[in-house]
Amino acid sequence: MTADDTAGLMTAPIELNSETLLALILSSLDDDKALEVVQINLRGKTEIGDYMVVASGRSTRQVSAMAEKLVDRVKHTFGFTAKVEGRDTGDWVLIDTGDVIVHIFRPEVREFYQLEKMWQPGGDSSDPN
């Protein structure tokens, strides 16, 4: 079956909003075996987006591959290209989809920065522990 053959079989486009975007991101990370996925609601805390997702990959290769697949899935599903930083090194990849900011780390890098602790309720960036 070619792309022309499937054109008539296409379903209605998925509505783009922060919840459908978040659902696609979480599904993509789950499919790619991301570790310790945390979603943080940013509404009322900042203007940078509605949600932040923090996840880990086992290696630089897995981190980069998860980021690449996620960007491809967002483009295929919603028709836009997310902004990406850090994919070449694979230690920490930032994916900005507009309403949802995604951080994918190697575990050691994630532990060092402890990014999600700043945004979670009760998080205190001045706490050394």
Residue 11's pLDDT is 52
Instruction: Specify the pTM.
Output: 0.82
3-state secondary structure 10-54: CCCCCCCCHHHHHHHHHHHHHHCCCEEEEEEECCCCCCCCCEEEE
Structure confidence by residue, pLDDT tens digits, 63-116? 999 999 999 999 999 999 999 999 888 899 999 999 999 999 999 999 999 998
Q: Where are the domains of the chain?
A: 15-117
52 confidence band (pLDDT: 50, 70, 90)? very high
> Measured between alpha carbons, how far is 95 from 14 in angstroms, rounded to an integer?
20
15-117 carries CATH number 3.90.650.10: no
Residue 55 token pair: 């996840």
Residue 19 token pair: 């919840």
Residue 126: DSSP 8-state:
T
Check pLDDT > 60 for residue 128. no
